Amino acid sequence: MLITLYSTEGCHLCEQAYSLLVEAGVQEHVQVIDVAFDDVLFSRYGVTIPVVSINPVISTSSDACSVTADIVSDESTHSISELGWPFDSADLAAWLKNNGFN
């Protein structure tokens, strides 16, 4: 399972969120995606980052944008669990546990 951290460069809140993921010991499962480079993701997360999500694995191939767009535009067919800022270590721990990370 992959945890996605939607973020952008220079975001101090995103850095705090990543630190909480490291503190929780799940950093090896984290993929950081900069929303500034994807119009669909920026539209969805641009003013709400950081957001952590457990969702289908997104490849970094040239098809990634279309896969990302499909995931973002049709949540009803994909199981996406998100935790938006603000959250603390207790919130993150509970969310991780609810999503199968112990």
Which domains, and CATH codes, for the chain?
2-57+79-99 (3.40.30.10)
What pLDDT is attached to residue 67? 44
Question: How does residue 101 score in pLDDT terms, banded at 50, 70 and 90?
Answer: confident
Residues pairing with 52 in the sheet: 5, 83
Tokens read off for 12:
């101090």
The 10s digit of each residue's pLDDT in 41-59 is 999 999 999 999 996 444 4
Whole-structure pTM value: 0.77
3-state secondary structure 38-100: CHHHHHHHCCCCCEEEEECCCCCCCCHHHHHHHHHHCHHHCCCEEEECCCCHHHHHHHHHHCC
Question: How does residue 77 score in pLDDT terms, banded at 50, 70 and 90?
Answer: very low
